[in-house]
Amino acid sequence: MKSLFLSVVKDHLLSRRYSMRTIQAYLYWIADFIRINNMQHPAKMGDAEVESYLEYLVLNKNVAAATQKTALNALVYLYKHIVEVPLNAELNFIRSKQSAKLPVVLTRDEIKRLLRAAPVNYLLHLSILYGSGLRLQELLRLRVGDIDFDYRCIRVWNGKGGKNRVVTLDESLFAQLRAQIDLCNTHLKQDLLDERFAGAWMPNRLEQKYGSLNKSLSWQYLFGAGQLSVDPQSGMFRRHHINAKQIQRAVKQARENAQIIKHVTPHTLRHSFATHLLQSGADIRTVQAQLGHSDIRTTQIYTHVIQQGGNGVVSPLSHLDI
């Protein structure tokens, strides 16, 4: 049986236009918090229980700092907006000190091999992930109108943290992108013949403001799904974007075909984009802007990657004549 309480939390998050990924994460941690505390209602608990739970995540589950922070954000939202008794701003709990892993980065040769070995239907997707440094969700949410051929850029709206940014677009992808847009236009013409079609989903009530623009080509997902489906939030028929698992499987297949030993995910292409930009002499502030990082310290992790091995400390083994 579904929890009525969690349904209330979900509806509240939806009304605030939180992304589905954030909603799922918040609901998970709120449900886990309630479960660990013997199914007590959050209104009967407070700072002490939250502090104890956050310490439990570190001491018993050994979660990373980012995971503990997400759990904290979920509970802060719960008590501020649902229970309406905000938590103490200075909660006292053991914070995770699990260090962040250095990112896996492919060499330029490995990137070339990976793209050559990629499934043909997903070569464009993987090329954009590497060539523009997008996150996987940012790629999936691209609309046709986000591609700017004149200024050779991609406009990313509502990225991580709700930020907008402009990223580079390689001219070598223009032909493939125009072919993809032609495919979107073909799908749109088919969809418009279906009386159930409600147009593309538009955020922040833009659908009410701009009327039928959601049925224009510009607003369609660049990488649309193969068929119409029911939008779970509205119950309307729309053409959603493709599933993230399709890209993940394509990357896995490309890695295997290219016989690359390193662990490679879609995010590895973003790591490689940033590292290769820095190796090419790009300013770290420029790379920060391209990646959409709020804090330059997040971007600086790529300088640590560059400084490894032959680009950093010379091994004393090199001085031995063996």
Please give the positions annotated as active site: 135, 160, 267, 270, 293, 302
Q: What is the DSSP string of 79-144?
A: IIIIS--PPPTT---PPP-PPPPPPP---HHHHHHHHHTS-GGGHHHHHHHHHH---HHHHHT-BG
Any idea what DSSP says for residue 2? -
Interatomic CA distance for residues 190 and 172, integer angstroms: 29
Q: Which ranges of the chain does DSSP label H, i.e. alpha helix?
A: 4-15, 20-36, 47-59, 65-77, 108-116, 123-132, 136-140, 174-192, 206-210, 244-258, 266-279, 284-291, 296-299, 301-306
Distance CA 249, CA 125 (A): 12
257 C-beta neighbours (distance < 10 Å), count: 14
At 111, which amino acid appears? I
Unique residue bearing structure tokens 């060539």: 131
Which tokens sit at 258? 């290219």
CA atoms lying within 13 Å on the CB side of residue 221? 21
Distance CA 268, CA 248 (A): 11
Q: How many CA atoms lie within 13 A of 301 on its CB side?
A: 15
Helix pair angle (108-116, 266-279), 10° resolution: 140
